[in-house]
Amino acid sequence: MQKLFPDAATALDGLLFDGMLIASGGFGLCGIPERLLTAIRDSGVGNLTFASNNAGIDNEGIGMLLRTRQVSKMISSYVGENKEFERQYLSGELAVEFCPQGTLAERMRSGGAGIPGFYTKTGVGTAVAEGKDVKEFNGEDYILERGIFADLSIIKAWKADTTGNLMFRKTARNFNLPAATCGKVCVVEVEEVVPAGSLHPDCVHLPGVYVQRMIVGTPYDKKIEFITTREREDA
């Protein structure tokens, strides 16, 4: 199966439609599929729901799709650092399903494992539990959370071989791994592709069976969410 495509637009061809649910990897600006997000923006597809830890920052990451009003709902654990996200939520323009960070990761992982729901203590007695089934196990209350089954997964990896086996670099593994598994189709943006068999099996973080399409997305400029500086003492 030929998994390597020449560019992001080609890799997403035939996969995008209005109203779809997209699981997107990354954490802040770390390990986000920049090229794929740009191609989604340029496609003009709308009314999107994104399941992602957050929306990056203003006009970066999913933030660029908020600017163009292509996102109608976010399933996220964090709103900070993105003023447009905050503004649209507070004004009622954007629906937000807040989800504790660990619960969000497990919802993606569960979807990838074919598990429709699970019970967790996280959120019991808070607004997170509103409207959800509560059961008692061993004298403790747990709430039902549902697995995420996305129409499309978009993620960023460091290395891949031609069969789609992936390696993530350090903390960029974050939400990329669970997000990759829960979509009907997984499209990967990778920095380097090597021949099949080049990656040691112990270094493969995600097997190629989860990956349908790939692009090479280099070069990248490292974007930083906050830059804090001070005057040099010897200046």
- What's the mean per-residue pLDDT of the chain? 93
Nearest to 24 by CA among 179, 146, 197: 179
Taking the C-alpha atoms of residue 215 and residue 39, their distance in angstroms, rounded to an integer, is 12
Whether residue 139 is contained in a domain is answered as no
Tell me, what's the pLDDT at 211? 98
- In this prediction the pTM is 0.92
Tell me, what's the pLDDT at 39? 97
pLDDT at 227 over 90: no
Q: What average pLDDT does range 36-55 have in this prediction?
A: 96
Q: What average pLDDT does range 66-73 have in this prediction?
A: 96
Whether residue 223 is contained in a domain is answered as no
- The enclosing domain of 164 has a CATH number of 3.40.1080.10
Taking the C-alpha atoms of residue 184 and residue 65, their distance in angstroms, rounded to an integer, is 22
pLDDT at 176 over 90: yes
Whether residue 124 is contained in a domain is answered as no
Whether residue 132 is contained in a domain is answered as no
Whether residue 3 is contained in a domain is answered as no
Tell me, what's the pLDDT at 8? 97
Q: Tell me if residue 9 falls in helix, strand or coil.
A: helix
At residue 235 the predicted structure's pLDDT band, cuts being 50, 70 and 90, is low
Q: What average pLDDT does range 213-227 have in this prediction?
A: 81
At residue 231 the predicted structure's pLDDT band, cuts being 50, 70 and 90, is confident
Whether residue 137 is contained in a domain is answered as no
What are 125-165's pLDDT values in tens digits?
999 999 999 999 999 999 999 999 999 999 999 999 999 99
Residue 154 belongs to domain spanning = 8-117+146-216
Domain count across the chain: 1
Residues of the chain above pLDDT 70, percent: 99
Tell me, what's the pLDDT at 222? 75
How many angstroms from the chain centroid is the CA of residue 11?
17
Q: What average pLDDT does range 79-92 have in this prediction?
A: 86
Tell me, what's the pLDDT at 23? 98
pLDDT at 67 over 70: yes
**At residue 209, what is the residue type?**
V
